[in-house]
Chain A
Amino acid sequence: MKTITDLILKMGKTDRRWIFLIIALVTLLPLFFPIGLPIRATEQTRVVYEAIEQLPPNSKVLLSVEYSPATKPENHPMTISVMRHLFRNKHKVYITCLWPDGQFMAQDVINMVAVDEFNLTYGEDYVFLGFRPGNEAVIKGIVSNIRKLYTVDVYQTLVDEIPMMDGINKFTDFDFLFSSSSGFPGTIEWVQYAADPTGVPMSSGVTSIQVNEVMPYVQSGQMKGVLAGMPGAAEYEALIGIKGDATSGMDAQSIAHIVIVLFIFLGNAAFFIERKRSKKY
């Protein structure tokens, strides 16, 4: 028994570089050798899916991209899946960005989904309005008069010359909003300044760390569900039936979480043994 407790104590004082190495290994190995754990969609992901599924064909959907490469593994798969779902259901997609980096992320998704997969026509099926500085003021501008805020699109084409922009003057001209967000300005600002005051339905995909912040808006009905981090993205991929990066990342995340929980147990075991011994002597 003493040998075991000594071993636990010794492990409790492990150099943190060993922990880093173990985490790196348990994250990398499932990426190379996938386990294929079954993915079960949670209620919130289903609500997002149903909200988009129930939109009538040719609905005008505003897709706002506000994340940077730092959270790409979480936000990018959900943006890709939502765009796939929107185009599959023949909706018109208008893309804006509240973050400058979002413009690059959005362009990447457009190239992958709209151009390569669906071979859609720019200006007729989708339009890329891009980034404008001003945070909440940009949202307020879109709500009151989008034409004043965006006179040209990302490719410097006059907005008045884009066929899809006919009849689009303010936020209430859209049928739905999806915000793919990883912080400020993002989902919360869209709820506060656009969706809630105008009544236009919205959903969002956020990073895991942001979920607790946006949950009050989901519970109150101001948002139709939420895609919560990489698991939310993987669940959405399962619902639309096209596996992507989030699905392959879930094995790695599952194993990493289990290892962290084991570390916590081990750390606590060492803590209790140490406390018991210090009381004894």
Chain B
Amino acid sequence: MIWKRQIPILIVTIVGLLTLFGWFIDEPTVESFVNDDATQWYDILASFAIFLGALNLMKMQINKIIKKKPGWIYSIIAILGFIFAITAGFFIKGVEGVEWGAHVTTDGTLFKWMFDFVFTPLSATMFSLLAFFVASAAYRSFRIRNFEASLLLVSGIIIMIGRVPVGGIISSWFVMYILVLALGIGLNIRFKNKMITLAVVGGGILAVTTAGMLSGWPLDQPSIFYLPVLQDWIYFYPNVAGTRAIMIGIGLGIFATSIRYILGIEKSYIGE
């Protein structure tokens, strides 16, 4: 029991404390351990983890085939792919005169062939599907149901159009006309009075047209209505504020979890 419980907890506590205090203690041995040795150990452990991961993958897939679980036919493809990758990586280079290791990225080798003609098209296809699902999902679920959803929708549209070159050729004056019309629709829904709507829309159009004629209709002025500038602002201020809040939350969570590991309270890594 001591080897399965107390010793692992002790290792985690000692290494955790050393790594944590390594940032604060000005002592060359501790600093060298944290910056140098600990990372080397991690590299060695990560290499072993790759072996463990591969063995685990095989165990799961073979198990699935033996028990004929749903989708077992795909497990055969996974195992064949694994064997092929191992063979191309460790046993058959496919080209003479290339060093083992260098063969991985050398043109003409079996491994490079596998990467170029199997892995690349497969992963590109998987990622490309995203475009279709995004379009379909946007069409079906991006609805103006409440204020928050409207805010998200408007920001999303500004980002989508302002980020691409077509956003750069949409004049800020055109955006202002759209805003005047949107204001008119909003007022009409709110007051249901045609005179107020007509006055606001007519006045707005007149004001925008006069301002445009006086300034010579510059494409990107006033910049607050120019989509590329607007999307930059959204990225740089509201987005950063939200992302920072999330990051601070995650940081505090990591800190709390780390302390739990160091103090031996969190023991999920030993299966408890």
Contact in complex: B46, A231 (CB < 8 Å): no
B131 at the interface (CB under 8 A from A): yes
Contact assessment for A156 and B119 in the assembled complex, using a CB-CB cutoff below 8 Å: no
Interface size on B, residues (CB 8 A): 56
Complex Cα spacing A155 to B105, Å = 9
Is the CB–CB distance between A19 and B164 below 8 Å? no
Among B35, B124, B135, B142, point to the contact of A144 (Cβ < 8 A): B35
Output the nearest chain A residue to B42 by Cβ-Cβ distance. Answer: A137
A71–B235 CB distance below 8 A: no
The answer to whether A132 touches B132 (Cβ under 8 A) is no
Point out the residues of chain A lying under 8 angstroms from B165, CB to CB.
37-40, 231, 234, 250-251, 254
Closest partner residue, chain A, to B23 (CB atom): A197
Q: Is the CB of B46 within 8 A of A133?
A: yes
With both beta carbons as reference points, the residue of chain A lying nearest to B160 in the complex is identified as A257
A139 to chain B: closest residue by CB: B39
Tell me if B210 counts as interface (CB < 8 A to partner A). Answer: no
Q: How many angstroms between the C-alpha atoms of A218 and B35 in the bound complex?
A: 26
Are A43 and B232 in contact, CB atoms less than 8 angstroms apart? Answer: yes
Q: Contact: B132 with A211, CB < 8 Å?
A: no
| Cα A22 to Cα B164 with chains together (Å) | 19
Which residues of B lie under 8 Å from residue A200 when comparing CB positions?
none
Residues of A within 8 A of B161 (CB): 257-258, 261
Min Cβ gap B147→A in Å is 15
Chain A residue, CB-CB nearest to B31: A144
Query: Are the CB atoms of B43 and A134 closer together than 8 Å?
Result: yes
Which listed residue, B104, B127, B153, B239, touches A212 by the CB 8 Å rule? B239
Distance of A43 Cα from B226 Cα, bound (Å):
14
Give Cα A104 to B124, complex, Å.
Answer: 14
On whether the beta carbons of B123 and A68 are closer than 8 Å, the reply is yes
Separation in Å of the A16 CB from the closest CB of chain B?
Answer: 5
Q: Are A72 and B124 in contact (CB under 8 A)?
A: yes
| B47-92 interface (Cβ within 8 A of A) | 47, 50
In contact, A263 and B138 (Cβ under 8 angstroms): yes
A143 touches B143 (CB 8 A): no
Cα A215 to Cα B50 in complex, Å, equals 33
- Which residues of the partner chain B approach A72 to less than 8 Å between Cβ atoms? 120, 124
Check B99 against A211 for contact (C-beta < 8 Å).
no
Contact with A along B141-184 (1 / 0, CB 8 A): 01110000000010001001101111111000000000000000
**B3 sits at the interface (CB 8 A):** no
CA distance A37 to B170 in the complex (A): 12
Q: Is B139 a contact of A219 with CB atoms below 8 Å?
A: no
The 5 closest A-B pairs by CB, nearest first: A37-B165, A70-B127, A254-B166, A144-B35, A137-B42
Instruction: Return 19 A-B CB contacts under 8 Å, by A number.
Output: A16-B136, A19-B139, A27-B131, A70-B124, A72-B124, A103-B104, A133-B47, A134-B42, A137-B38, A137-B43, A141-B40, A144-B35, A212-B235, A215-B240, A219-B236, A231-B163, A231-B164, A254-B167, A257-B164
For the complex with contacts A23-B131, A72-B120, A154-B105, 4 further pairs of A-B residues with Cβ separation under 8 Å are A135-B46, A216-B247, A261-B161, A271-B143
Q: Which residues of B contact A (CB under 8 A)?
A: 35-36, 38-40, 42-43, 46-47, 50, 99-102, 104-105, 112, 115, 119-120, 123-124, 126-127, 131-132, 134-136, 138-140, 142-144, 153, 157, 160-161, 163-169, 228, 232, 235-236, 239-240, 242-244, 247
